[in-house]
């Protein structure tokens, strides 16, 4: 799939971008891999870690359409991972989230079409489902923009979405935060009943690879992944610490959802994933013909999930 291709990753210096870049360098014969981001310091450190003549670094912002047009020239595949995603910060700075997550995503769509990119995949989140915070709302808009991009791109550029939960140990995640607080006498817990979907980076990479391989353009790919209780994570990382229940922060949910009852009428289920089909008359699901229809009003939620990580499994993952 990547043989002789040029691949560009927006937000390429983030947790996912670094892992995907490393995977491409070590496992494919891609012609060129472009890391597009606005943080020159992170690019500098990434250049020190990964030395390969196929690797290119573009400083730029997805808010800047002309820069995207230049960066996308000659690119075959785009992975759009750039986003502002820290929930409390986005509640306080809503206009900045709109500029990056919504307008930036539209710029990626426009530049991909104008430059003849073959495939563009948006990295989305469970926060986009039934959004109650600005971050989730902007990611929902980004999903809609990518799906509708197929009506603009014709048969030249295909757009799809990979939607998944929290990546274990990624920067800013609860595990990352607790690991830095594990020696404290007391850790802060939002709510003892809180649950989340969890995916490790290897699973996230495999989902993206699978989505790129299977996409017809217009699908939302959702992995079947386990849930865990936030309080169990705290018990494992900081077993000696007392817990202070602080209540949910602005824009925070008690549980997360990856597939809604409204989306279920257009969803198909497979052994290890779901897809949500677009409501386009011209859409062809030949790559997904073997999936079974999802029950009407089915909801894939972190609290009603059939897959759970117990404390021993969580401990092994963290280790």
Nearest to 147 by CA among 62, 63, 216, 76: 216
d(CA 292, CA 276): 12
**Residues paired with 274 in a beta bridge:** 222, 269
Ramachandran region, residue 197 (left: φ > 0; alpha: ψ -120 to 50; beta: rest): beta
d(CA 269, CA 291): 5
127 is catalytic: yes
Cα dihedral across residues 89, 94, 96, 102: positive or negative: positive
DSSP state of 236: H
Cβ neighbours of residue 303 under 8 Å, at least 6 residues apart?
195, 227, 254, 255
Cα dihedral across residues 300, 301, 302, 305: positive or negative: negative
Within a 13 Å sphere around the CA of 215, how many CA atoms are in the beta-carbon half?
30
Q: Which of 127, 253, 268, 277 is catalytic?
A: 127
- Residues 236 and 179 sit within 8 Å (Cβ to Cβ): no
Under DSSP, is residue 7 helix (H, G, I), strand (E, B) or coil?
strand
How wide is the angle at C-alpha 215 spanned by C-alphas 212 and 218, nearest 5°? 125
Cβ neighbours of residue 202 under 8 Å, at least 6 residues apart?
none
- Residues 79 and 119 sit within 8 Å (Cβ to Cβ): no
Which residues are marked as active site? 127
């Amino acid at each position: 799939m990547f043989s002789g291709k040029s691949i560009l990753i927006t937000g390429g210096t983030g947790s996912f971008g670094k892992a995907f870049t490393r995977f491409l360098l070590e496992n494919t014969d891609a012609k060129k891999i472009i890391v597009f981001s606005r943080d020159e310091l992170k690019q500098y450190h990434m250049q020190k870690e990964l030395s390969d003549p196929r690797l290119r670094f573009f400083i730029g912002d997805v808010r800047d359409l002309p820069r995207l047009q230049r960066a996308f020239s000659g690119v075959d595949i785009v992975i759009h991972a750039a986003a502002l995603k820290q929930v409390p910060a986005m509640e306080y700075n809503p206009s900045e989230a709109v500029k990056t997550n919504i307008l930036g995503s539209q710029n990626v769509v426009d530049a991909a079409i104008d430059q003849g990119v073959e495939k563009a995949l948006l990295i989305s989140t469970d926060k986009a489902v039934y959004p109650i915070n600005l971050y989730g709302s902007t990611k929902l808009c980004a999903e809609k923009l990518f799906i509708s991009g197929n009506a603009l791109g014709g048969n030249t550029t295909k757009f799809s979405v990979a939607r998944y939960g929290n990546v274990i140990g990624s920067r800013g995640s609860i595990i990352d935060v607790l690991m830095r607080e594990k020696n404290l006498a007391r850790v802060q817990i939002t709510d003892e009943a809180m649950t989340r979907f969890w995916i490790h980076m290897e699973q996230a990479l495999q989902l993206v690879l699978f989505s790129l391989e299977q996409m017809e353009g217009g699908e939302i790919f959702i992995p079947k992944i386990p849930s865990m209780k936030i309080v169990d994570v705290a018990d494992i990382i900081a077993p000696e610490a007392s817990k202070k229940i602080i209540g949910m922060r602005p824009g925070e949910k008690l549980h997360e959802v990856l597939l809604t009852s409204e989306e279920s009428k257009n969803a198909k289920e497979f052994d290890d994933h779901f897809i949500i089909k677009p409501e386009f008359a011209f859409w062809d699901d030949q790559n997904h013909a073997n999936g079974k229809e999802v029950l009407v009003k089915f909801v894939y939620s972190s609290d009603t999930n059939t897959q759970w990580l117990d404390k021993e499994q969580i401990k092994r993952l963290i280790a």
